[in-house]
Amino acid sequence: MTAVNALLLISLAREFLRVRGFLMFWALYSLIWIVTAWHGVHFHSAPRPAALFMNLDEISQTPLPDWSEIPWAVIVAALGLGWLARTPAPGGRDQRLATLAVAATFIAMHGVALLHYQTANMLRFSQYGDLVRTQGLEGAAILDGIDLLREPNGAEIFHGLRVDAAENPAEPLQLDPVRVDRIVIVQIESLDREALTSDVAPNLLRLWSDGTHALVNTMHSSLSGSSGADFQLLTGLRPMTRTPPYRLAWDEDGAGLPTYAGSKGFSFHAYHGNDRHFWNRGPFFDALGIDFHSSESFPATEFSRWGKADGDLFRYAAESIGKDRGGVHFLITLSSHAPYDLVDPPAHEEGATVLKRYRESIAYVDAALGTFLKQISNDDRTLIALYSDHTSGLFDPGAERPVPLILGLLTSDGSLAPLNAGGRDVHELAGMFELSSLNHYLKDALDASAR
């Protein structure tokens, strides 16, 4: 389908444009897909123009892409085809007939695809890869853009997501509910299971070994970025929308985790090192009933190329947790975001590989997390939940692998004690889980701890 779409565009351009006009068209057409391909490499997902435009604010604040993220194959292909296109197209009747044949092929193939795949929910809930498969890159980009431009019906979409959650419930975490005084959740940016080593992340490795751990499929997509992960944690719903979930207007359903926590006597706080409008978290969190502490709330004492460094985030959150010892506290980290040179030491290393910068970024977050857990350790019973929003994509490019989930009760030295199942300690939960599974378990803990 992509080949048919491209062939039609090029054929029409050759039919109606002169040599110079056609070269300008080809340059613009190539540039769009080069930039889109880079964006896909950066976010480790299918090239998606709509996602590129939705992420312009993030892209404008991050450093230039690493050389490894530049889509050289697309650039070479574009230059090669542009060089071939310098020669004028043959004129006359044969060219017109060839163009008509291409147009007829285009109409026939898209007609078959629409008749075969057209359902009420195809365009609303299908993954972008499905649209590419059925409509080609250009067709998928157009449909995706139209869907983003129209005002989404949040109530209708949320209804569909709740029907899906009811008909296909997430696998539960087979753990006994635990009575606690407070809950602390940390969503760690781009944390891979492979990063949990003694030389990179000794604190996280210790928590993984001592506490209860599992693997989670975060259902990551480029259009929702990290927000797709916290959306699942907060709502218990899968982010099966091509519209960024926080762009939808929350319908104030009482099943959201913050509202549920409030009904059990727990306040709910969220902390993030970026501004409140990043991914539209601020307005959506307000609608959920969250007390949101974004980057505007706390001072910067450490260097960071983008947002506030995680060290500043953890220090501010520790102070806030000390003031509200009975709440639910949800931290979203930032400093290990690609291209992994946002904070020291990797920010000022010349010639370091992407993998080296990534490991040093994770080491920075690991150290800050270890200090944070010791700062909030006291006599209260504190449930800790740690997970990642998605992988870095560095260990298995092109595949979205599961991420670590770590659970446990915080001890006085900043370690974790494992949770129980049937009265016995559980260190490892076998199988694959969703963040919705964690949402349900946290509600069970709130039920057990209701005041």
Q: Which DSSP string do the residues of 309-377 spell out, in sequence order?
A: -HHHHHHHHHHHHHH-TTSEEEEE--TT-TTS-SSTTGGG-SS--HHHHHHHHHHHHHHHHHHHHHHT-
Instruction: Verify that 353 and 391 share a domain, yes or no.
Output: yes
My answer on whether omega of the bond before 339 falls inside 30° of 0, hence cis, is yes
Instruction: Verify that 353 and 404 share a domain, yes or no.
Output: yes
Indicate whether 263 belongs to any domain.
yes
Q: Specify whether the CB–CB gap between 413 and 226 falls below 8 A.
A: no
pLDDT tens column, 396-424: 766 668 999 999 999 999 999 999 999 99
Most confident of 61-70, 114-123, 284-293, 376-385: 284-293
CA distance 241 to 253: 18
Overall average pLDDT of the 220-234 stretch: 84
What is the band of 277 on the pLDDT scale with cuts at 50, 70, 90? Answer: confident
What is the band of 157 on the pLDDT scale with cuts at 50, 70, 90? Answer: confident
Instruction: Verify that 187 and 128 share a domain, yes or no.
Output: no
Instruction: Count how many domains the chain has.
Output: 2
Tokens of 175: 């753990």
What is the band of 120 on the pLDDT scale with cuts at 50, 70, 90? Answer: very low
Instruction: Verify that 132 and 199 share a domain, yes or no.
Output: no
What is the band of 449 on the pLDDT scale with cuts at 50, 70, 90? Answer: very high
What is the band of 283 on the pLDDT scale with cuts at 50, 70, 90? Answer: very high
With a pLDDT cut of 90, the percent of the chain lying above it is: 49
Residue 395 pLDDT > 70, yes or no? yes
pLDDT tens column, 359-370: 999 999 999 999
388 beta partners: 188
Indicate whether 158 belongs to any domain.
no
Indicate whether 194 belongs to any domain.
yes
Q: Cα 207 to the chain's mean position, in Å?
A: 24
pTM greater than 0.95: no
Return the residue matching tokens 């307000």.
286
* Domain termination site, one of 114, 149, 184: 149
Instruction: Verify that 191 and 50 share a domain, yes or no.
Output: no
Q: Helical H runs in 44-92?
A: 49-54, 56-61, 72-84
Q: Cα 21 to the chain's mean position, in Å?
A: 40
Q: Which DSSP string do the residues of 257-285 spell out, in sequence order?
A: HHHHHHHTT--EEEEESS-TTGGGHHHHH
Q: Specify whether the CB–CB gap between 329 and 320 falls below 8 A.
A: yes
Tokens of 375: 């700062």
* CA nearest to 235, candidates 213, 212, 261, 216: 261
On average, the pLDDT of the chain sits at 85
Instruction: Verify that 421 and 375 share a domain, yes or no.
Output: yes
Instruction: Verify that 305 and 436 share a domain, yes or no.
Output: yes
Residue 163's pLDDT is 93
* CA nearest to 321, candidates 400, 257, 378: 378
Instruction: Verify that 123 and 193 share a domain, yes or no.
Output: no
* Domain termination site, one of 134, 149, 164: 149
Residue 361's pLDDT is 96
* CA nearest to 419, candidates 380, 383, 379: 383
Residue 162 pLDDT > 50, yes or no? yes
Residue 84 pLDDT > 90, yes or no? no
Instruction: Verify that 12 and 64 share a domain, yes or no.
Output: yes
Indicate whether 193 belongs to any domain.
yes
Indicate whether 420 belongs to any domain.
yes
Indicate whether 168 belongs to any domain.
no
* Domain termination site, one of 96, 114, 149: 149
Q: How many residues belong to the chain? A: 451
Instruction: Verify that 342 and 272 share a domain, yes or no.
Output: yes
Comparing 22-31, 32-41, 245-254, 373-382, the range with the smallest average pLDDT is 32-41
Instruction: Verify that 184 and 283 share a domain, yes or no.
Output: yes
CATH number where 188 lies? 3.40.720.10
Instruction: Check residues 245 and 420 and name the one with the higher pLDDT.
Output: 420
DSSP secondary structure code for residue 428 in this structure = E
Tokens of 149: 């431009």
Instruction: Check residues 42 and 261 and name the one with the higher pLDDT.
Output: 261
Q: Specify whether the CB–CB gap between 268 and 258 falls below 8 A.
A: yes
Indicate whether 390 belongs to any domain.
yes
CA distance 323 to 363: 28
Tokens of 18: 């002169």
Domain span at residue 359 reads 175-449
Instruction: Verify that 322 and 271 share a domain, yes or no.
Output: yes
Indicate whether 244 belongs to any domain.
yes
Residue 426 pLDDT > 90, yes or no? yes
Overall average pLDDT of the 9-22 stretch: 78
What is the band of 236 on the pLDDT scale with cuts at 50, 70, 90? Answer: very high
Q: Specify whether the CB–CB gap between 312 and 298 falls below 8 A.
A: yes
Side chain identity at 421, as an amino acid letter? A
pLDDT tens column, 123-140: 544 556 667 767 777 777
